[in-house]
Amino acid sequence: MAQTFNWSIRVYIEDTDVGGVVFYANYLKFFERARTEWLRSLDVNQQSLMDQHGIIFIVKSAAVDYHAPARLDDEVTLTVSAGRIGRASVQFVQEAWCGAKLLATGQIRIGCVNMAGLRPAPIPAEILAKIRKVV
């Protein structure tokens, strides 16, 4: 069973739509930030990936199901669980929660690409080892 990483954010006015709820696309931003913090918790810095390895992670696919709205000033807890790991990609399951209420569920697949041509590149072995440690 994969370890689940949790990271919390506060909903600001800029995150909401005219109806006062979190704009649906912002969940993708929230999920992105949580994955970045998950990597940081594994001692993987995205700037270092660019500088030392010439690679970046990109979103290859994303599917989000929305269950309930978050509103201004809510504290939203985002979860990150890594699933299938390939040579150049990782499948994530992510959730957004407000207390015990599930807000959104995402299936996000990221790919590793080289910065020069944005072509698929293998995830460096030392990074893969850190990811596999928590899966």
Q: What is the CATH number of the domain that holds 25?
A: 3.10.129.10
> Which ranges of 1-135 would DSSP assign to H, the alpha helix?
26-41, 46-48, 125-133
Containing domain of residue 9, as a range? Answer: 5-133
Q: Does 17 qualify as catalytic in the annotation?
A: yes
**Quick one: pLDDT at residue 2?**
67
**Quick one: pLDDT at residue 29?**
97
> Which regions of the chain are under pLDDT 70?
1-2
Please identify which of the residues 17, 43, 51, 65 carries the catalytic annotation: 17
pTM reported for the whole predicted model:
0.94
Per-residue pLDDT tens over the stretch 34-59: 999 999 999 999 999 999 999 999 99
Q: Residue 25 corresponds to which tokens in the numbers above?
A: 């696309």
Number of domains in the chain: 1
